[in-house]
Structure 1
Amino acid sequence: MHIAVLAFEGISPFMLSTPLAVFAEPFLAGGHEIAVCAAAPSLQATGGLVIQAPHALEAVPDADVVIMPGWRDALEPVSPDLVAVLQAAHRRGAIVVGLCLGAFALAEAGLLDGRRATTHWMRAALFAERYPAVTVDADALFIDEGQVMTSAGIAAGLDCCLHLLARLSGIGEANRVARHLVVAPQRLGAQPQLIARPAPGSSAEKRVSDLLEGLRHDPSATPTLDALADRAGVSRRGLTRHIRAQTGGSLSDWLRRVRLDRAQALLGAGAKGLDDVAARAGFADAKALRAAFRQELGLSPRQWLARQRQSAGTAS
């Protein structure tokens, strides 16, 4: 896959480095070619840094994926040349991604009309007001609408890029890169942007974290809330509060995401039989596995696996 990352005057080096960390590091095995493209060869970035862009915007038409990092200011119109590049990429069928305030560029290009999208929560209201044809989900970390993807802030941009890598090279490769980056591989787009945390370093928080880590290691376990509360030495209500603080939702929601991640890894590794995969991942049966895939990904397990194989074949 040829991947183009757009750069511009006033860009945040951190935002620019997010897709590069996922797609351009030497430990990657996917064989993707990535190019940083800009209207000028030398750019003034934030923090007083100067960035040399090796490719002009004219190189973008060769890309299968075009990534627009966070635009420098939501109150400032996006450069017309960048809008034109995004529109042209979409017309020829490329995947177009807007990270953080990069969603404003996609919306300005008309690529999000009639679609769901997200952006940084602080600018979600402005985004919705400016682009009423877009359905804004201010809670989501990222949203995958097929040919277009949008994400929330910096960390969510990393999640979005890892999700895109899973589409292109399979969940196994995405998880491997996530481990190299020392980030959690299981964060899905529906996880909320804002998660309230209990007092850091509390013994109860640590015990609940250990319980969740154990369940992540073996998601086939089916303990009750009461049993987990006893093991953590907290009340059932206290356990629920700690779990929501650490995961952004209920235990059942978190377990479904973890089990889905395990099922994807098993299927990607060649496991056969949905009943066996369901049991090993912690689902009650193949029917429950299919329901989780459709709820979270909008695909059946077989459709998802076919897409992974097709993407891997294209990337090779």
Structure 2
Amino acid sequence: MSHIRVAVLAFDDVSLFHLSVPGLVLGANNGSGSVQFTIQYVAQTPGQIRTDQGVMIEVPEGLQALQQADIIIVPAWSDPQVPAPEELTTALRQAHASGKLIVGLCLGAFVLGDAGLLDGREATTHWVARDVFARRFPQTLFRPDVLYVADDNVVTSAGTVAAIDCCLHLLREHQGYEATNHVARLLVTPPHRPGGQAQYIERPVPKLADSNRLPGVLEWAREHLHEPLSLDTLASVASMSRRTFTRRFKEATGTTVNRWLNTERVARAQHLLETTDLSIERITAEAGFGTTLALRQQFAAQLGTSPSNYRRNFCKTAGEAVLA
């Protein structure tokens, strides 16, 4: 079993939620996979740290511990208008230069920006601070439309709960799709949320009296992904008109039926690529893609890779699998 050391930065008024997320996600599968994460908390000045909820925590390790970490996670910075201290940004630059993975959760992206790690890179942060972020870091390729973005060995995430999405991404990178699904079920959250943070910008999802029918439709669709599913078919299952179903689907998921289906079908293909030696053609059919070209196009668009390369990286029996 390999061990990955994760250092989580703590500072006064740090988000108690963000301090907890790396351990909740990355530590949830320890003991049942090939990779074990060790979570350690560090501070610029070791000792008592007051969180944003008023809870005091003891942080025994200083910034020198960052050099022993494999992954460094910076929770949401308490004030995006206040630059991070030079001692901290210098430590992050040194860690980045030595090849460590640096992660900024939510407003933690501002600390990475202060360290100069986002220049020329894609990055995101909470939508509420998008204007400040764009003004302070003009050399960054700001992505306001995503829940998280990875650019080489720098990862940033959007608003508060997107920290979970980001850490699930880290888990998926090291333990694979099946382990991530398991942890997501334990946390009662999707292993991958379709759509970006644009769906959350000052537009809360209304509570519909009969919205209980829609989750049932989503589950039904997941069980029938191998079939040609149309908007009319799903609307019929929901016992709604095409127009009503389209509107309520967008309200519930933040995306369109076609995009949601493509995301779910890619997820099904990922699972089959990881856990079976089925041919690419068979997986194309099982996932509901009409052609292998369509499968490859969606993998390129959503994952930035091909089905064959994905299998090489994540399939437990990749050496025995026949790749198309």
Normalised TM-score (structure 2): 0.89
- Cα 1:9/1:255, change in 2 over 3 Å: same
| CA–CA distance in structure 2, aligned partners of residues 26 and 50 of structure 1 | 27
Number of residue-to-residue matches in the alignment: 309
Shift of residue 52 of structure 1? 1.2
Shift of residue 192 of structure 1? 3.7
Other-structure match for 1:164: 170
Shift of residue 188 of structure 1? 4.8
1:34 aligns with 2:39: yes
| CA–CA distance in structure 1, aligned partners of residues 94 and 314 of structure 2 | 26
Shift of residue 19 of structure 1? 1.1
Q: What code does the residue aligned with 2:70 have?
A: D
How is 1:161-310 mapped onto 2 (pairs within 5 angstroms)?
161-188=167-194, 190=196, 192-194=198-200, 196=203, 199-203=206-210, 205-308=211-314
Shift of residue 197 of structure 1? 5.4
The structure, 1 or 2, with the larger RCO (C-alpha pairs under 8 Å, 6+ apart) is 1
Instruction: Say if 1:141 and 1:193, in contact at 8 Å, map to a contact too.
Output: no
5+ residue gaps, structure 2: 317-324
Secondary structure class of the residue paired with 2:53: helix
Secondary structure class of the residue paired with 1:31: strand
Shift of residue 99 of structure 1? 0.4
Other-structure match for 1:314: none
Normalised TM-score (structure 1): 0.92
| CA–CA distance in structure 1, aligned partners of residues 228 and 299 of structure 2 | 19
Q: What code does the residue aligned with 1:202 have?
A: A
Instruction: Say if 1:159 and 1:188, in contact at 8 Å, map to a contact too.
Output: no
Shift of residue 103 of structure 1? 0.5
Instruction: Say if 1:229 and 1:235, in contact at 8 Å, map to a contact too.
Output: yes
5+ residue gaps, structure 1: 311-316
Other-structure match for 2:150: 144
Instruction: Say if 1:142 and 1:189, in contact at 8 Å, map to a contact too.
Output: no
Q: Please, which of 150, 161, 164 is the counterpart of residue 155 of structure 1?
A: 161
Secondary structure class of the residue paired with 2:95: helix
| CA–CA distance in structure 2, aligned partners of residues 214 and 61 of structure 1 | 48
Shift of residue 28 of structure 1? 5.4
Q: What code does the residue aligned with 2:248 have?
A: H
Q: What code does the residue aligned with 2:38 have?
A: E
Shift of residue 110 of structure 1? 1.2
Other-structure match for 1:13: 16
| CA–CA distance in structure 2, aligned partners of residues 225 and 309 of structure 1 | 33
| CA–CA distance in structure 2, aligned partners of residues 64 and 198 of structure 1 | 38
- Cα 1:240/1:101, change in 2 over 3 Å: same
Q: What code does the residue aligned with 2:106 have?
A: C
- Indicate the RMSD between aligned Cα atoms, in angstroms: 1.9
More helix by share: 1
| CA–CA distance in structure 2, aligned partners of residues 24 and 7 of structure 1 | 18
| CA–CA distance in structure 2, aligned partners of residues 86 and 258 of structure 1 | 36
- Per-residue CA deviation, residues 178-219 of structure 1 (Å, 9 max, x unaligned), is 11111111315746451745541421x222221112112332
| CA–CA distance in structure 2, aligned partners of residues 106 and 189 of structure 1 | 25
